[in-house]
Amino acid sequence: MTPEEANEKLDAHRQRIDELDREIRALLNERTKVVENIGKVKRECSLPIYEPKREEEVFRNIMDDNPGPLPADALKRVFERIIDEMRTVQRDRMKREQE
Amino acid sequence: MTPEEANEKLDAHRQRIDELDREIRALLNERTKVVENIGKVKRECSLPIYEPKREEEVFRNIMDDNPGPLPADALKRVFERIIDEMRTVQRDRMKREQE
């Protein structure tokens, strides 16, 4: 492979990464909206915000039949971060509403 | 809202979360494949694996024009985790190939 060919290939791959990242961002924002809607229902009905059983279900859903190549433990850590960040968004919203 | 209505709403929202999570997982696996292809090109041409400039570009791509509601700093932390996990996948692959 010449350096020019390598650069062309890298450029194409990087464009694809940027596209995928914007798609992932769109899904994360959509997920945040749904989490906010869940929070609204829970607040209206005074239901507990944190439900460990449901959290297990969320992890099972993404860990089951993972086709890879991203390993299960890596996938789990990414979703732990996602869930944690969305919990913080919820907590901040509740604080603001109480103030 | 009656408890029954609340449960119905929560069920519908949770189904949507599970769908979104499987879509996010598919995109993460696709992204890992592209990262692996980038690694192959770099190894073949002895190019450096870590390029801080490109990393900045990746963050700029997701931080620019983020429509929310997930805040920019939360989004950044999620992508730091994603990038970090994929770097580990690459490192493990290189280790295995050298052995």
pLDDT tens figures, B15-34: 999 999 999 999 999 999 99
Mean pLDDT of all residues in A33-55: 91
The H or E element containing residue B54 is helix B52-63
Question: Which residues does chain B have within 8 Å of residue A23's beta carbon, measured at their own beta carbons?
Answer: 27
> How many folded domains does chain B comprise?
1
What pLDDT shows up at residue B56? 95
Shortest distance, CA B98 to any CA of chain A (angstroms): 20
What pLDDT shows up at residue B54? 94
Per-residue confidence at B96, pLDDT binned at 50, 70, 90? confident
Mutate to test the interface with B, among A38, A70, A83 (most CBs of B within 10 A): A70
What pLDDT shows up at residue B97? 80
Using CB atoms, which residue from A25, A69, A89 is nearest to B66? A25
B26: tokens are 């598919």
Q: Hey, what's the torsion of the CAs at B39, B43, B48, B50, to 10 degrees?
A: 20
Mean pLDDT of all residues in B2-15: 95
What pLDDT shows up at residue A83? 96
- ipTM, interface predicted TM-score of the complex: 0.95
A22: tokens are 């914007």
Per-residue confidence at A56, pLDDT binned at 50, 70, 90? very high
Answer yes or no: are the C-beta atoms of A31 and B20 closer than 8 Å. yes
Specify the CATH number for the domain of residue A42.
1.20.59.10
The parent domain of residue A41 ranges over 3-98
Report chain A's mean pLDDT, rounded to a whole number.
94
B90 touches chain A (CB under 8 A): no
pLDDT tens figures, B33-49: 999 999 999 989 988 88
| Cβ-defined contact of A85 to B66 (cutoff 8 Å) | no
Shortest distance, CA B99 to any CA of chain A (angstroms): 20
